[in-house]
Structure 1
Amino acid sequence: MSEQTPHVPSRRNVLRGTAAAGAGLGIGALGAPAAHATTAGSVPAAPPDDTAGTAAVPERRGATMAGVPFERRSAVRIGIVGYGNRGSSMIGHFLSLPWVQVTAVCDPVRDKAEQAVKAVTASGRPAPAVYANGEKDYERLCARSDIDLVYVATPWDSHFAIARAAMLNGKHVGVECPVAMRLDELWELVDLSEQTRRHCMQLENCCYGRNEMRVLRMAHAGKFGRLLHGAGAYNHDLRGLMFSPTYYEGPWRRLWHTRLRGDLYPNHGFAPVANYMDVNRGDRVVSISSFGTPALGLAEYRAANMPSGDPSWKESYVGSDRTISMVRTALGRVIRLEHDVSTPHPYSRINSLGGTRGVFEDYPARIYLEPDHKDDEWADFSAYAAEYDHWLWKEHANPPGGHGGMDYIMVYRLMQCVRLGLVPDFDVYDAATWTAPVPLSDASVRAKGAPQDIPDFTRGEWRKARSGVDSVKPA
C-alpha cells in the first residue's frame, strides 16, 4: 500500500480541462528543436533541423511527467483488464513476484475472468474480485480503492478508454500496444497523465529484449560513433491467426485492415530504435513519410482457406500488405519502419542501428564496428555480452516465459519501479510517440507518401537528457 497518496484532481475538473485542451488539436510538427541537444554517448549526427515544426504546442494544463517517480510502497496491487491470449500469458509473471497482489480481474467473457481467478488462487493468493458484466465493467474495477496500477490487455480499440478511466480514478496504467489509435486520443492521454499525476505507459516488451538492451548500452557507450540511422519492423505472418475462429476473441484485429492503410503496429520496431537515439531524451522525431503496397494478401488467404459462407467474405481489405515509413529526427537521423502481417515471410523486427563507426543488424544478430572488425565481414554479436549486457539480463540470465524472456524482464522492472518509488523507464510521452505512426502513417499513405508532422508530445522536454531503459541498478 502506498505510504502517501498525492492529490488527484477531481474527475469533473480533469474532464473540463481536457475538453478545453482538446479544441483545435492538429497534426502539425510542434516546436523548433534546440541547438545541439545531446545525451551521454549520443552525439548529434548532424546539425539540428530548425525547419522542422512550426505549429503551436497545445497549452500544458499540468506539470510534465518526465522524471516523475512512482510513490514508494511495500506491495504493488494491480487490476488486470483483459484475459485473452496476452493477459493469460502475462499473469504468471506478475504472480511470480511475491510483492505483487492481483486484487481484481476484468473480462466480458466470464469464463476467462474465472480462469484468471484460478491462476491467482493457484499461486496461494486470495481470489481477486471479478468484473465480467459487459464491455465497460472495467470502469468499476478502475474505481476500486485497492489498486495501484491497471494492466490493460484488450483489443486495440478499447485501450484508450480503459487507460483514461484508470487515470481519472487515480490509477497508474500500463497498456499493451498500441496505446491508442487516434492522434487526439494520444494527446488526451498525455494531458490526463499530466493532470492526474498518474503514469500512462506503453508496455513495450521489445525494449527489454536482450539484444535491444545490449545495443542500447553500446550506443550510449559510443561504440557506434555518431548515430545516423536505424530500422525496426513488425513483419510477422499473422494470416492464419487473424482468420482463426478461436485465437482472437472475434475478428477485431483483422477488421483494422478494413479501416487503416498504414502501419497498424509500429511499437515493437520503433520503440527500441527510438531508445537507441534517445528520442524524447535529447532528440525527437519530427516527421513520417509512409508508402503502402496494394492490399492483396488477406483476400488471397481467405480465397484459399475460408468457406464461402464465412463472415469474412463481407470484408474489403484496404490496409497495405507492407507499409514502409521513413521517420526523421530533429538531429537529422533517419529511422525506417516496416509493417507486414498479411504475406508469407519469416518473423523479423529488423532492429538495426548504424553510425559513423559501424552497424548492428538483427535476424540474425550480427555486427561490424571499427576498429574492432576488419575485412568487411560481419562479426559475432555475442562477443559483446560480458561487457554490455544490461544488468537486468545479468541478474535474470534465464528469465521464464515467452518472447525470449523479455516479457518477464519488462514486468519485473515495472513492478520494481512501482514498488521502490523509481522513475519508470518510459512514460506517456514515449507511449504517444511510439504509437503516433498508427494514424500518421495512414494519413501519409492516403496522401501518396506526403510527410506528416509528428507532434512534440513532451512540449519541449525532449531537449533535456534524462534516463530511460538504460537504467542504473537500484541499491
Structure 2
Amino acid sequence: MNESVPAPSSHDEIPSPVSRRSVLWTAGAAGAGLVPGLGGPGAATAAAAAPGAAADSGDWPERQGKTMIGVPFERRRTVRVGIVGLGNRGDSMIDLFLAIPGVRIVAVCDPVKAKTEKAVAKVTAAGGPAPAAYARGEHDFEKLCERGDLDFVYVAAPWDGHFAMARSALRNGKHVGVECPLALEIAELWELVDLSERTRRHCLQLENCCYGRNEMRVLRMAHAGLFGELLHGAGAYIHDLRALMFSPTYYEGPWRRLWHTRLRGDLYPNHGFGPVANYMDVNRGDRAVRISTVGSPSLGLAAYREQHMPAGDPSWKESYVGSDMSVSLVQTAKGRVIRLEHAVSNPHPYSRLNTLGGTKGVFEDYPERIYLEPERSEDTWGDFGAYAEWDHWLWKEHSNPPGGHGGMDYIMLFRLVQCMRLGLVPDFDVYDGATWTAPVPLSHASIRAKGAPQEIPDFTRGLWRESRPGMDSEKPQG
C-alpha cells in the first residue's frame, strides 16, 4: 500500500523557482563575472572555502537531520509519478515509465501546453487514466509537487530549473529524481543534501550511464578483484552537439548553448564520473577529495556559427567562453586518480572513455577492450565479450531492454521502480548525486584559477569511510 507522506514543515517557505528564460540574462552577466557562485573575483577562493571543503577535517555544515545512507523507500504496490519537463528527454522517458509494471503517471508539467497534451495522449493511449496537466507558466511545477497523490517526481527540464524543482519536490514530501546535473552551485548541492535528510525523502541524480551494460559488467569485475588494486579511471562526455545546439527545434530555445557563454569548465561530468566513482566505491570506502581542471580555447561554436548561421541570427550576439575541451583530474582519499573530459563543440566520435586500471590490468571503452593478467601474456588487447558471465543480473534478466541509449534508460527506471515497490535502499543517493555534480562549478573555478585544485566537499559528513552496498546489487527475492 502507498504510505502517506509528511506535509512541508511550517518553517519551509515556498521555493523561488528559476525560470528557464533566466539563462538569457545570466548569459551576459557571467561574462562580467556577475553570476553568483560561478564567476567573478574570488570565485576560486569561494569554491575552496565552501561548506565541507576541508578534505578530512570534519569541517562541514552541521547535519540538520539524519543521514539518508541506507534508508529504504517505503514499500508500495504502485509508484505514482509526476513528470516535470516534456522536451526530448522527458517525452521519451514517458514511454519507458509506461512499459514498467506498477507505475502510474499521475501528473505532467511543461510550460508548453502542446507538450502536456501530447504526454496525456500517450498515457491514455497506453490504457491509463489521463494524468493532470500543468502548463500555466514557468512555476506550475510547484502545483504538481503539492499534490497529495504523488510518490515520485521526475525532473527533465533545462538545467537552470533542476535545483528549484528538486527543492520543491522535497519540501512537499516527494522523492525526486533529476536528470544531469543535479544543481549548478555548491551551496545548492548542500541545500538538497540537507533537505533530503530533513524530509526523509530521497533526492537522486538519475545517471543512466551507471546502468550501461559495459559499466555494470566492469563494476562487478572490479568488485570481484579482477583488476587487482584499483589505481586510476577515466570518464567523459565527448559528443559533437554543434548541430543540435544551433537547431531551432531540438532544444526549446538556446538554453543549452548559452551555458557555453557562462561556464568554462566541465558542464556535464556526471556521465563519466558516476560509473568510475562506482567502480572505486566513492562515498563507500573512498571519496573524491579535490579536482584540478584545465581548458582549451573556446573556438568550435563560433566556427560552426560562422559556417552555418545566417547574418542577423540571435546567436551572433553570443560570446562563448566554455572550453572546447576541459580535462579534470580528481584525486581520491586513497590516492587514486580519475580523469574527466568534456568536449561537445568540435568534430569527434561519441565517447565516454569509461576506463579502469588496476594492478592486474585495464579496461578501455570506445571501442571496448580489456587486458587482464594472467589471461593476457602478449602485448595485445583481449575480447571483452569473453567476460559476459560477469554481466549484472539486471542485464541477464533484461537482455534486450526497450528504449534509447542501448537500453540503459529502461534498466535505470526498472531498478528505481523495483526499489520503490519492494521497499529497498536505492542504488545511489543524494550524496552520490552531489559528488558527481560538484565538478560543474569546481572545474569552472579551477580554470579561472589557472588549474589550482579545488576541494570537493564531503557531502556524507565523514560517513564515506564506511563500506556499504551500491550499484553492485543482489537480485531481490520475491
Map of 2:264 onto structure 1:
261
Map of 2:22 onto structure 1:
none
Specify which of 58, 63, 76 is matched with residue 60 of structure 1.
Answer: 63
Map of 2:246 onto structure 1:
243
With over 3 angstroms needed to count, the CA separation of the structure-2 counterparts of 1:247 and 1:61, relative to structure 1, is: same
Map of 2:32 onto structure 1:
none
Q: Is the 8 A contact 2:142 2:165 kept in 1?
A: yes
Q: Is the 8 A contact 1:60 1:191 kept in 2?
A: yes
SS at match of 1:431: helix
Q: Which runs of 4+ in 1 moved over 6 A?
A: 29-32
2:90 is aligned with 1:87: yes
TM-score when scaled to structure 2?
Answer: 0.91
Map of 2:36 onto structure 1:
none
Q: Alignment length, in residue pairs?
A: 449
SS at match of 1:417: helix
Map of 1:393 onto structure 2:
395
With over 3 angstroms needed to count, the CA separation of the structure-2 counterparts of 1:127 and 1:13, relative to structure 1, is: closer
Map of 1:107 onto structure 2:
110
The 2-side partners of 1:203 and 1:98 are apart by 19
2:427 is aligned with 1:425: yes
The 2-side partners of 1:385 and 1:10 are apart by 49
State the 1:98 CA deviation. 2.7
Map of 1:5 onto structure 2:
4
With over 3 angstroms needed to count, the CA separation of the structure-2 counterparts of 1:29 and 1:187, relative to structure 1, is: closer
2:169 is aligned with 1:170: no
Specify which of 466, 470, 473 is matched with residue 471 of structure 1.
Answer: 473
Map of 1:410 onto structure 2:
412
Amino acid at match of 1:59: E
Summarize deviations over 1:390-424 as a string: whole Å, max 9, x none: 00000000001110000000010001111111000
The 2-side partners of 1:367 and 1:157 are apart by 39
The 1-side partners of 2:170 and 2:6 are apart by 13
Summarize deviations over 1:189-234 as a string: whole Å, max 9, x none: 0000000001000000000000000000000000000000000000
State the 1:27 CA deviation. 3.6
State the 1:374 CA deviation. 1.4
SS at match of 1:12: coil
State the 1:187 CA deviation. 0.5
Map of 1:369 onto structure 2:
372
SS at match of 1:121: helix
Please list, as runs of the form range in 1=range in 2, the aligned pairs for 1:182-331 lying within 5 A after superposition.
182-331=185-334
Amino acid at match of 1:219: A
With over 3 angstroms needed to count, the CA separation of the structure-2 counterparts of 1:93 and 1:117, relative to structure 1, is: same
2:124 is aligned with 1:121: yes
Map of 1:19 onto structure 2:
none
The 2-side partners of 1:52 and 1:255 are apart by 33
SS at match of 2:289: strand
Summarize deviations over 1:309-331 as a string: whole Å, max 9, x none: 10000000000000000000000
Map of 1:20 onto structure 2:
none
State the 1:9 CA deviation. 5.3
With over 3 angstroms needed to count, the CA separation of the structure-2 counterparts of 1:11 and 1:253, relative to structure 1, is: farther
Map of 1:44 onto structure 2:
none
With over 3 angstroms needed to count, the CA separation of the structure-2 counterparts of 1:323 and 1:131, relative to structure 1, is: same
SS at match of 2:387: helix
Amino acid at match of 1:465: S
Q: Is the 8 A contact 1:28 1:54 kept in 2?
A: no
Let me know the Cα RMSD of the aligned residues. 1.8
Map of 1:448 onto structure 2:
450
Amino acid at match of 2:62: E
Q: Is the 8 A contact 1:81 1:153 kept in 2?
A: yes
Map of 2:149 onto structure 1:
146
With over 3 angstroms needed to count, the CA separation of the structure-2 counterparts of 1:403 and 1:384, relative to structure 1, is: same
Q: Percent identity among equivalent residues? A: 73
The 1-side partners of 2:5 and 2:342 are apart by 41
Map of 2:20 onto structure 1:
none
